[in-house]
Amino acid sequence: MEKFDTIVLYPSPGMGHLISMVELGKLILTHHPSFSIIIFITNAPYNTGSTAAYINRVSETTPSILFHHLPTISLPLDSTIESPHLETLVFKLLHLNNPNIHQALQTISQSSTIRSFIIDFFCYPSLDVAHNLNIPTYYFFTSGAAVLSVFFYLPTLHKTTTKSFKDLEANLEIPGLPTIPPSDMIKPTLDRTDEAYTGFLETTISLPRSQGIIVNSFESLEPRPIKAISDGLCVPDAPTPPVYYIGPLIASTNDGRMSTGGDKSECLKWLDSQPSRSVVFLCFGSLGLFSATQLKEIAVGLEKSCQRFLWVVRSPPTEDKTKRFLAPPEPNLVVLLPDGFLDRTRDRGLVVKSWAPQVAVLSHKSVGGFVTHCGWNSVLEAVCAGVPMVAWPLYAEQRLNKPVLVEDMKLALPMEESEGGLVSAVEVEKRVSELMDDSDEAGRAIRERVMVMSEAAKVAMSEGGSSRRALDELVESWKLGNLTVHPVGL
């Protein structure tokens, strides 16, 4: 019986990681339809955003992508988890997933030739499983080249100091990046005694053992870190694996960011009634939460700015440790926002609860600015739509993305925190006004720059573009089937 040539994709749980992996599968099928695509789905016991509706939509529109749901694994979510970071749970879950991965790969191999097993950064425990089965394994990196350079370089930073990043005073010099304050490192890596730090370190050590890294970015967007990586500066004591920049991969406006919350038509219908490029959109990812105090500061700043706005509001994080990793309840806008705010801004603003169809919103002609948490999917969506940004990082690798967006790419204005991490209403008013005011020089420069990058993104993905060439090179390596699988322990 003839076997199918199959590519197996293994995202970590979470909407942002899943969307990127699905788009990678679509890209492969579009240009190389002889492959079959299988995507592993891991059901997490903690909040990852609602993915069921999105998976159903993809299954309907792209039936050639098959989803394989792995058996459910339970994890304790109570005070026995000492680390405060969600990433600790992610690493624990994906370690426990290894027997399921082994079984699934073996089953698929009976009817298919697995040409490549493509794993998310967090799925590094499965690298040895695949290598033991002699399956070529690649990482799919859902952040950009700048963050990849940091991860490549993390083992070197680990060796050169015994202190945690939170205790360092000197700025970090990482090849390909602007100077980085230690406090801007990925939050779970700030304390080297934390369990999450160990997970990140082990992952970064494993990167060079893969057959290659696939990155959701494109060459003209990040030339500086891409050059540092290709010159071998980020992995000084080992060969750097091949890196393929095949982005930008973003969800189509038809898929959007599907969720059980929010009403898609409400946002878009309201935007239809607004002038061109007049609305600033504020949205902070599927996991971005603000304190009640911070929500009020944002509201005051938006009101004083006199700008039109579309703002997605979620409930503040819970103080109950047993619920800290679960989805927050629907927000009560009357309680959370200043008295009378909704009435006073009714003619120029819309506040929606929990969710909005981000890709469709950013692509709408009325949207002229984006206040973002600097999640990489959101950055790419804004770039592709030609929407300038205000960078307000909250979690994960976002503090690293901010200086790159502001200083290197020049696609965003920085949102500056005051002592204690609060962003004042004055700062919100200032940055939103700068971004949206046609007479402001800084905002105008960013608006012009993002339009250039939007066009560059289209060129990269077109026939003969850098990302298409990288994809063809990657696929050719799969077809040759002569890759060396690195043994366990090397």
Q: Which domain holds residue 415?
A: 266-457
What residues have CB less than 8 Å from 98, skipping those under 6 apart? 125, 126, 129
Residue 323 shares a structural domain with residue 224: no
Residue 357 shares a structural domain with residue 419: yes
Q: Is residue 256 part of a domain?
A: no
Question: In angstroms, rounded to a whole number, what is the distance separating the alpha carbons of residues 151 and 157?
Answer: 10
Residue 158 shares a structural domain with residue 183: yes
pLDDT given for residue 481 in this prediction:
65
pTM of the model: 0.93
Question: In angstroms, rounded to a whole number, what is the distance separating the alpha carbons of residues 273 and 260?
Answer: 25
Q: What is the pLDDT of residues 356-373, one digit of tens each?
A: 999 999 999 999 999 999
Residue 467 shares a structural domain with residue 392: no
Residue 442 shares a structural domain with residue 475: no
Residue 99 shares a structural domain with residue 225: yes
Q: Judge whether residue 135 has pLDDT over 90.
A: yes
Q: Is residue 258 part of a domain?
A: no
Is the distance from CB of 12 to CB of 122 less than 8 angstroms? yes
Residue 8 shares a structural domain with residue 99: yes
Q: What is the 3-state secondary structure (H, E, C) of 84-141?
A: CCHHHHHHHHHHHCHHHHHHHHHHHHHHEEEEEEEEEHHHCCHHHHHHHCCCCEEEEE
Q: Is residue 488 part of a domain?
A: no
Question: In angstroms, rounded to a whole number, what is the distance separating the alpha carbons of residues 122 and 203?
Answer: 7
Residue 283 shares a structural domain with residue 243: no
What residues have CB less than 8 Å from 52, skipping those under 6 apart? none
Is the distance from CB of 278 to CB of 366 less than 8 angstroms? yes
Binned at pLDDT 50, 70 and 90, residue 257 comes out as very low
Q: What is the pLDDT of residues 433-471, one digit of tens each?
A: 999 998 889 999 999 999 999 999 999 999 999 999 999
Q: Is residue 487 part of a domain?
A: no
CATH number at residue 373: 3.40.50.2000
pLDDT given for residue 487 in this prediction:
43
Is the distance from CB of 282 to CB of 309 less than 8 angstroms? yes
Amino acid at residue number 205: I
Record the tokens describing residue 472, joined without a space.
Answer: 């063809």
Is the distance from CB of 367 to CB of 361 less than 8 angstroms? yes
